[in-house]
Amino acid sequence: MKPKIALLYTEGINRDQESGYAFRLAGGETELVHVSELKSGAKKLANYQILFLPGGFANGDHLFSAKIWASESLAYFGDQLQAFAQDDKLIIGICNGFQCLIRTGLLPFNHLGKIEATLTHNASNSFQSRWVKLKIESSNCVFTRGLEGQIIRTPVSHGEGRFLAPEDELNKIEQEKQVVFRYVDEQENPTQIFPANPNGSTNAIAGLTSPNGKILGLMPHPECNTIWNHYPNWNEEKQRGGECLQLFKNAVTYF
């Protein structure tokens, strides 16, 4: 039986099609779920195995990126989010979705309603849209099992992707091996240097997992490199893309 993936969206989300395509390629069954449907009770998160928060500019990113999206989610179906996160299910948030996971408190430590880190304006003070390289770190993240040490290529498209956290929280994240992805340079070393690190994130952090490895958030867009001709230089055989599909396959095969 295929796991059911809820693609949670609201006004301003624009990566739902790419996100759904990635999970369907991986063998999952996707369904668009609007925030209003959870607010009204027309749909329930309990009916799904995977929750996907896609990228975009939810509610125009007014106040802060994903602030309204996160606030509505906590206020109207926070109990459903809590139950989902505590069950044997998976959550992934990419770009705007990662920002929402941070602002709901689901990341970094799955303390719903408590903000313990932030994703703020890029150090360059400019919107960045480019391809970057990520190193997959050793962690207990379900999405990256068997991929530790590999380098993947993904596009980024954000203005508020710089990860910051207080020293105590940052040390805990590192000690507990919750960093899943780091930005790397051409020598495949973690870097703070622009443009390989497009936003200036602390410790080159591009993505995190929760302590139990079942919640993943990252700023780059692996859903945009799931088939061989997604990468710009696909006409060169050694440059062909698609390496990010395995992240979604890992999630599907978990069930």
**pLDDT at 84 > cutoff 90:** yes
Average pLDDT of span 64-80: 96
E strand segments, 139-247: 151-158, 162-164, 179-184, 205-209, 215-218
Q: What is the DSSP letter of 148?
A: T
Chain-wide mean pLDDT for the chain? 97
**pLDDT at 1 > cutoff 90:** no
**Would you place residue 227 in the very low, low, confident or very high pLDDT band (cuts 50, 70, 90)?**
very high
Domain count, the chain: 1
Domain with 48 in it: 4-253
Amino acid at 31: E
pLDDT for 63 equals 84
> Angle formed by the axes of helices 16-25 and 245-253, to 10°?
60
What gap in Å lies between CA 7 and CA 50, rounded to an integer? 9
Among 221, 224, 230, 243, the one annotated catalytic: 221
Q: Can you give the pTM of this predicted structure?
A: 0.97
* Active-site residue flag, 244: no
Look up the CATH number of the domain holding residue 36. Answer: 3.40.50.880
pLDDT for 238 equals 87
pLDDT for 64 equals 86
What gap in Å lies between CA 67 and CA 187, rounded to an integer? 36
Among 18, 137, 160, 223, the one annotated catalytic: 223
**Alpha-helical segments (H) within 41-178:** 67-86, 96-104, 167-175
Q: Which residues make Cβ contacts (< 8 Å) with residue 39, sequence separation at least 6? A: 72, 76, 77
Q: What is the DSSP letter of 2?
A: P
**pLDDT at 200 > cutoff 90:** yes
Among 72, 95, 100, 244, the one annotated catalytic: 95
**pLDDT at 119 > cutoff 90:** yes
Query: Using an 8 Å Cβ cutoff, are 48 and 31 in contact?
Result: yes
- Residue identified by tokens 């790419």 is 18
Q: What is the DSSP letter of 77?
A: H
pLDDT for 27 equals 98
What percent of the chain lies above the pLDDT cut of 90? 96
pLDDT for 100 equals 98
**pLDDT at 31 > cutoff 90:** yes
* Active-site residue flag, 31: no
3-state secondary structure of 174: helix
**pLDDT at 62 > cutoff 90:** no
What gap in Å lies between CA 179 and CA 140, rounded to an integer? 10
Amino acid at 132: V
